[in-house]
């Protein structure tokens, strides 16, 4: 089964009103209105930010991206943040149960030349896999804003992934990086890049296949937590858990079978 079919099944069992099925595909990059969340959200972002800054300041900096390897040190903050963010995504974006399968905490770097995630790319997991980037520092044009490509209507654009589930699971052309020719074509079609700046706590939700990139640091530093969600038929006991939420310790590809959710098929 492909993830798109599994997503429809997940929507069928969702017991509440649901947004249109097109929502996550046609408007794949959105700001999350965190002002509507309980104040514990920003309090826990601030607490996480302070802890993570200390950790990174003590670690040798990686030339491309410094990765946090002990995310469960911040279990309390993670649970509080997910308990606000994920229900919002369930109700307003997906119309189905979700769980957190991956969390990355990292600090970007100053690069001589862009490479890796600093090049325009899509992650090439199925489009229903959605990442949520939360800034742990104030972010301006100078300290590594997240950037995504928009269509002439100002909406994000999904690059059709070559990994969609058990019926289609192929390696991405060019390592899922866009070529110069593809970028020029997008610009000719009226597409334009959009940088995301904002205060600490600013939260953006984006399909992992939205065309996006990180920017190099010019001045300062930027820490983020990136929380990735997956549709699930059965509600998980908690949104994130050591039992099924991994970090940089496990590769970023999802299982080709969407039914292998937080609990494997019985």
**Interaction site with Fe ion (CB under 5 A):** 117, 123
C-alpha distances in Å from residue 236, one per residue of 11, 165, 209? 15, 21, 25
Q: Which is nearer to Fe ion, 164 or 212 (CB)?
A: 212
CB of residue 60 to Fe ion, shortest distance in Å: 24
**Are 119 and 173 a contacting pair, CB within 8 Å?**
no
Q: How many whole angstroms separate alpha carbon 8 and alpha carbon 165?
A: 14
CB of 170 to Fe ion, least distance (A): 18
CB closer to Fe ion out of 159 and 244: 159
By C-beta, is 77 or 123 nearer to Fe ion? 123
Residue whose CB is less far from Fe ion, 197 or 226? 226
Closer residue to Fe ion, CB minimum distance, 56 or 122: 122
In the complex, minimum distance from the CB of residue 131 to Fe ion, in angstroms, rounded to a whole number: 7
Q: Are the CB atoms for 201 and 45 separated by under 8 Å?
A: yes
Round to whole Å and give the CA distance between 200 and 225: 11
Least CB distance from residue 108 to Fe ion, whole Å? 12
Closest CB to Fe ion among 51 and 193?
A: 193
> Taking Cα atoms as reference points, which of 221, 23, 26, 32 lies closest to residue 110?
221
Nearer to Fe ion among residue 46 and residue 119 (C-beta):
119
Q: Name which of 75, 70, 86 is nearest 44 in CA terms.
A: 75
> How is residue 198 annotated by DSSP?
B
Work out how close the CB of 121 gets to Fe ion at its nearest, in angstroms, rounded to a whole number: 6
DSSP per residue over 37-95, as a string?
A: S-THHHHHHHHHHHHHHHHHHHSPPPSSEEE-S-GGGGHHHHHHHHHHHHHHIIIIIIS
**Torsions phi, psi for 112 (to 5 deg):** -70, -45
Residue whose CB is nearest to Fe ion in the complex, by number: 123
Minimal distance in Å, beta carbon 226 to Fe ion? 9
* Rounded (5°) CA angle 120-126-130: 75
CB of 62 to Fe ion, least distance (A): 16
Q: Which two tokens stand for residue 68?
A: 């946090």
């Amino acid at each position: 089964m492909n993830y798109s079919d599994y997503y429809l099944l997940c929507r069928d069992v969702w017991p509440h009103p649901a947004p249109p099925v097109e929502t996550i595909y046609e408007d794949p990059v959105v700001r999350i209105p965190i002002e509507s969340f309980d104040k514990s959200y920003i309090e826990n972002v601030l607490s996480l930010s302070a802890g993570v800054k200390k950790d990174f300041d003590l670690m040798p900096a990686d030339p491309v991206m410094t990765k946090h390897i002990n995310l469960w040190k911040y279990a309390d903050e993670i649970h509080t943040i997910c308990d606000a963010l994920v229900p919002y995504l369930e109700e307003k974006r997906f119309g189905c149960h979700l769980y957190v399968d991956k969390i990355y905490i990292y600090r970007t770097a100053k690069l001589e030349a862009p490479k890796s995630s600093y090049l325009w790319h899509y992650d090439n997991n199925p489009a229903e896999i959605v990442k949520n980037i939360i800034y742990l520092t104030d972010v301006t044009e100078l300290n590594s804003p997240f950037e995504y490509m928009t269509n002439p209507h100002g909406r994000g654009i999904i690059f059709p992934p070559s990994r969609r589930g058990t019926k289609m699971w192929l390696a991405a052309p060019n390592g899922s990086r866009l070529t110069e020719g593809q970028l020029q074509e997008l610009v000719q079609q009226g597409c334009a890049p959009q940088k995301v700046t904002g205060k600490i706590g600013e939260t953006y939700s984006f399909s992992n296949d939205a065309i996006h990139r990180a920017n190099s640091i010019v001045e300062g530093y930027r820490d983020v937590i990136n929380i990735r969600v997956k549709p699930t038929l059965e509600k998980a006991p908690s949104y994130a858990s050591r039992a099924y939420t991994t970090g940089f310790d496990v590769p970023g590809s999802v299982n080709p079978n969407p039914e292998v959710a937080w609990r494997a098929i019985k």
